[in-house]
Copies of this chain bind each other. A is one copy, B any other.
């Protein structure tokens, strides 16, 4: 037992929707980085970095996203702080690491511009390899929470551009929730929620009847506590 140090790191689970290589259906993908040193050398892990004293937690997550994908996040949210003492292999003289984990959601249009960083590779989220540290748990938790949050918040829009068709929005839900939704009922529910406003424009060039384009009525609410509190009487759906 040497002089163990306590280190604070920030990791980010970056998710985007891309077609599945086999079925062609939209699925969640995420970038992982291959570890180039011990411990867990050679294994895949979530991207991250130690927190610098001059950085906010979110700033660190943003930089990690930049480094691994070349992108700036439009949606970033804190997930959880993982701090079990045995997260790094015990007795190896390694530092004890507490990781604050963030989520970032990549929009379809940005995803096209994504550039892989050093030792970065994208994986289908549900088919990711066994990961270093406790990152299997972290990833599973992130996915479970993302799916749960789809039900009561507007994060689905974080995957889409400003203008979108209701079919596109529905496909996001179907991809993340992994089940088909009734187009007729979906349309009514979304319109009834007033979250979405028709732009008057229509999407042309489709194989069939041109669908109407919509825009978000209000921006996606931030999950940042400071903003949630400042918003006065918080709605349940805005709290995690």
Residues of A that sit less than 8 Å from B by CB: 4-6, 8, 51, 53-57, 78, 80-85, 96, 98, 100, 134, 137-138, 140-141, 144-145, 148-149, 151-152, 225-226, 228-229, 234, 236, 239-240
Contacts and interface: CB of A to CB of B under 8 A. Distances in A.
A85 B56 contact: yes
Contacts of A228: 141, 144
B78 A80 contact: yes
Which label, helix, strand, loop or mixed, suits the secondary structure of the A interface? mixed
Given A54-B85, A234-B148, A138 B225 contact: yes
Given A8-B6, A83-B56, A145 B240 contact: yes
A82 B6 CA distance: 17
A225 B82 contact: yes
A53 B100 contact: no
Contacts of A140: 229
Given A51-B6, A141-B229, A228-B141, A236 B151 contact: yes
